[in-house]
Amino acid sequence: MRPHSLLALAVALLGLSSEALANGYCGGGCFSCCPPTACQAPCITRYRAERTTCYRTVSEVVYERQEQQCARTVYDTVWEEQQNTCYRNVCVRMEREVQTQVQRPVYETAEREERYTVNRPVWETSYRDCSYTVRKPVWETSTRECRRVVNRPVYETSEREVRRLVRRQVSECVQQERCRTVMRPVTTCRTVQQDCGRWTMQKTCRPGPSLPRMVCDPCCGWRVAMVPGPPVATYRPVYEPNIVERQVSSTTWQAEVVREMVPVQVCRMVTEEQVTRVPVRTCRIVQEEVVSSVPVRTCRWVDEVVPRQVPVRTCRMVQEECVRKIPVRTCRMVCETVTRKVPYYETHQEPYTVTRRVARKVARQVPYTVCRMVPRVVERQIPYETCRLVPETICQSGCEDGGCGPGGCQPAAGQVGPQSTRELQPEPAATQPQETNRLGLPEAEPVEQPTVRLKSA
């Protein structure tokens, strides 16, 4: 338990004496407890807060970047040429003589007579009369006159006058008024309001937390009372507007109509009468009689006998005896000794050289840099404030020369009582005001943990 809490509890127990218990409700129940020689003016005990700035050491772990040179082994592949002697099989074609007994066929040809009877055809030709009558057309050509009337066109050419109206183009130069729009710059000034305000820090005071203090009651003696503490000042940003008017010039383009005389080439059409002579070709029909000779072809039929001899061929068979010779072929086998060449292959080893590339690993050292974080403990001083309560007893002019009875205040006005020798030693407090609990006592201060920071190299 905290020291100031024990002190407050002890003071409260002292105030609850037998005399105070008889005077319940601060003496409002009865007046028998109040001594007749009590001071009319009570003494007040106030607690004054004293703040002291102290320093404590805080350890921090700082990581520093350290570079370390290392080397690693790297294997490179190196290709080397190597000569190797190899052997391969080579086949050589050779021949040898072999004698064998073979049987050769020998063919002999002989002739024999063969008689046979054949039927030979004998052809005889005779003629037969096949005459016939045909009708043949005979064409005869004669001429006759043909008269007809034809219309023959006769063309005549004459001239006539043609009058027509034509329009001829005539050009003239005329002054014409034209309007065009021109953009001219116009500069105007206008008033603009600009806010040139700034942010300021406004101080705000709020009541401080209630603190326990020893109060001297003329009826009940010393007791603990909750007295408002010193006010706490806070600052908040407040914006102060400042409206400033200034003139701003602006240039705009305005359209303006300009009139000017421009020469214009004008074309107009003039009507004229034109006379031309046009040749006119006329056609008239004249009738004429035409006599023409028309050939006329007539046909008549004439009977005519056509003689025709038709050959007739007859065949008769005559038997004859023929003799023919038939060849007869006989075969007999004759044994002979034949010498022939038989091919065969001989295999032998033939050396040859092969060049091949052989891979070999070559080790080498490659330097590289390793970066690591090294922890280091750094100590630093952190300021903090401690607050202690110092009691002060102040008596007004009611008690003179300390002549008050046992229930009143013994020291004179402006003197510090025996309670002033006792000081409260609270724990170190933070710089900011702490919150209070239900009894109005300050809360315990949180323990600050060591912080870890990274420090670059």
Backbone angles phi, psi at 289, to 5 degrees: -100, 130
Q: Show pLDDT as tens, one digit a residue, over the chain (457 residues).
A: 444 555 555 545 554 444 444 444 444 444 444 444 444 556 788 888 888 888 888 888 888 888 888 888 888 888 888 888 888 888 888 888 888 888 888 888 888 888 888 888 888 888 888 888 888 888 888 888 888 888 888 888 888 888 888 888 888 888 888 888 888 888 888 888 888 888 888 888 888 888 888 887 777 778 888 888 888 888 888 888 888 888 888 888 888 888 888 888 888 888 888 888 888 888 888 888 888 888 888 888 888 888 888 888 888 888 888 888 888 888 888 888 888 888 888 888 888 888 888 888 888 898 988 888 888 888 888 888 888 888 888 876 544 444 444 444 444 433 434 443 343 344 443 333 333 333 333 443 443 444 444 444 3
Asked if the structure places residue 410 within a domain, the reply is no
User: d(Cα 274, Cα 297) in Å, to the nearest integer?
Assistant: 67
The one-character DSSP state at 30 is -
Backbone angles phi, psi at 417, to 5 degrees: -75, -175
Asked if the structure places residue 249 within a domain, the reply is yes
Cα radius of gyration rounded to whole Å, the chain: 79
What confidence tens digit (pLDDT) does each residue in 96-140 have?
888 888 888 888 888 888 888 888 888 888 888 888 888 888 888
pTM across the whole model: 0.21
Asked if the structure places residue 165 within a domain, the reply is yes
According to the model, what pLDDT value does residue 454 have? Answer: 43
Asked if the structure places residue 51 within a domain, the reply is no
Asked if the structure places residue 365 within a domain, the reply is no
What confidence tens digit (pLDDT) does each residue in 143-167 have?
888 888 888 888 888 888 888 888 8
According to the model, what pLDDT value does residue 199 have? Answer: 87
* Alpha-carbon distance values, 47 to 70, 370, 416 (Å): 69, 63, 12
Q: Identify the helix (H) or strand (E) that includes residue 7.
A: helix 3-15
User: d(Cα 215, Cα 16) in Å, to the nearest integer?
Assistant: 14
Could you tell me if 223 and 217 are in contact, meaning their C-beta atoms sit under 8 angstroms apart?
A: yes
The one-character DSSP state at 436 is B
Structural domain harbouring 246: 132-197+241-306
Q: Which residues contact 4 (CB under 8 A, 6 or more apart)?
A: 389, 424, 425, 426, 441
Alpha carbon 83 to its chain centroid, in Å, reads 57
In degrees, rounded to 5, the angle at the alpha carbon of residue 282 between the alpha carbons of residues 277 and 288 is 160
According to the model, what pLDDT value does residue 447 have? Answer: 39
**Count of structural domains, the chain:** 1
According to the model, what pLDDT value does residue 269 have? Answer: 87
User: d(Cα 423, Cα 421) in Å, to the nearest integer?
Assistant: 6
Asked if the structure places residue 275 within a domain, the reply is yes
Hey, is 443 helix, strand or coil?
Answer: coil
Could you tell me if 33 and 27 are in contact, meaning their C-beta atoms sit under 8 angstroms apart?
A: yes
Asked if the structure places residue 123 within a domain, the reply is no
User: d(Cα 218, Cα 35) in Å, to the nearest integer?
Assistant: 10
How do 232-240 and 428-429 pair as beta strands? unpaired
For the chain, how far is it from start to end, CA to CA, in angstroms? 48
Asked if the structure places residue 336 within a domain, the reply is no
